[in-house]
Structures are given as structure tokens and as C-alpha cells.
Chains A and B, each alone.
Chain A
Amino acid sequence: GQQLNQSPQSMFIQEGEDVSMNCTSSSIFNTWLWYKQDPGEGPVLLIALYKAGELTSNGRLTAQFGITRKDSFLNISASIPSDVGIYFCAGQAGGGADGLTFGKGTHLIIQP
């Protein structure tokens, strides 16, 4: 089946620093989504990307759909304590009914 490699697995950063994480796939996706999960909660959608090369921002978050359609990255600028959590990339190869293939997550830990 499809596999997503998400890196880094964890990040320890200082408040105010910028963060970058990425996902690569063994196959092509037509949609890339980025989610954040807080403890005891479900994943919350941050950014959705639909076209190769697309660059989309949501506040301090910016994500891009790779040209090859096999990768995506998420950047967080000027991190704040509430950015702590697990960030997941997810890809979809077909239509909405196909479901999502998830990366293994990036644990973001911010030191004040």
C-alpha cells in the first residue's frame, strides 16, 4: 500500500523559532492535507492542498504541494506555546471516498 514518510519525528525548539516539516510519498497524491492533534483530541485540519505547486497559508502556517505530487511541506513561523502538538500530513490518491493515508506525525515541543 501507499506509504508516507514524515520527518522529523520530533522537534524541540525555542519559542519564536520557525518550524519546518515534510512528507514524501512512494506514489502520487492528488490532495495533501495537514492536521494538528492535541492530547485527547481528534486531528484538526490546518491546510488543504489540491494542485501540484500550490502554496497556501493559514496565519503563521504555510504549506506547499510538491511539483512531483509526491511530497509536501509545512512551515510554522514564529512558534508560540500553543503550537505544541502532533502534526500529521495526509494524502489522498483518489476522490473523497478513498480515505486518507497518514504520515506518522511530527511531535512539536516548544521550550519557553
Chain B
Amino acid sequence: DTAVSQTPKYLVTQMGNDKSIKCEQNLGHDTMYWYKQDSKKFLKIMFSYNNKELIINETVPNRFSPKSPDKAHLNLHINSLELGDSAVYFCASSQGRKAFFGQGTRLTVV
């Protein structure tokens, strides 16, 4: 049973398009996150949601918007995709101070 699952695993799209990445966790955790991993493997937090409330919004362009329909889901919507958005995006969830990650979505903007 996958604890944190993301879809799709790979996403190739053209500049200017709008796309979404879905994330679901079956761990019953209260907090979910989105992280971005760049080409040098550096991981940086983008957002976190706690009980449907946005807790952190780092210096992320407003083209990125997290949407949480319920505690088990946190989707990432990206508008007007740019070449620099190409990266691996990870969803994670936590209860307390341990965070568990999904397998990632490799986004390639061409």
C-alpha cells in the first residue's frame, strides 16, 4: 500500500500550458507539503497545508497554487508553465515531526 502517492510520475508539456499534479496520502496525517527538487538535487519546500489551511508559502510564483479538497489530498496547479519550472516535484505528509514523501513527478517543460 502506497502511503503518499502522486500522479502523474512523468509530465511533459509545452510552455504556456496549465497543468496539475495530484497527491493523496492514506496515513491520516494532518499536514501535507509540496517540495521542488532542481537539477542539482536540491530540495526546497514550496507549500504546506494543515487542516486545509495554507501554513507556508515560500517565494513561489503565484502561477503555482495548491488546492486541498480534503485532508488526504493536496494537488498542485501550475499556470502558464515556463522552462524554468522543469524539475521534480514531491508531495509529502507528516503527523508531528516526521515527513514521508511520494515518488515524485518529473515535470519537463519544452
Contact yes or no, B103 A98, CB < 8 A: no
A61, CB-defined interface residue at 8 Å: no
Contact yes or no, A42 B48, CB < 8 A: no
Query: Of B13-21, B61-69, B70-78, B89-97, which binds chain A?
Result: B89-97
Contact yes or no, B45 A100, CB < 8 A: yes
Taking the closest CB of chain B, its distance from the CB of A80, in whole angstroms, is 22
B43, CB-defined interface residue at 8 Å: yes
Interface of B is mostly: strand
Contact yes or no, B104 A50, CB < 8 A: no
Taking the closest CB of chain B, its distance from the CB of A89, in whole angstroms, is 11
Which residues on A are within 8 Å of B, measured CB to CB?
30-31, 33, 35, 37, 40-45, 48, 50, 86, 88, 90, 92, 95-102, 104-105
Pairs A-B, 8 closest by C-beta atoms: A42-B101, A99-B45, A102-B43, A97-B55, A31-B97, A97-B50, A96-B94, A43-B101
14 inter-chain pairs at a CB distance below 8 angstroms, sorted by A residue, are A30-B97, A33-B98, A42-B102, A43-B101, A44-B101, A45-B98, A92-B97, A96-B94, A97-B31, A97-B50, A99-B35, A100-B99, A102-B42, A102-B44
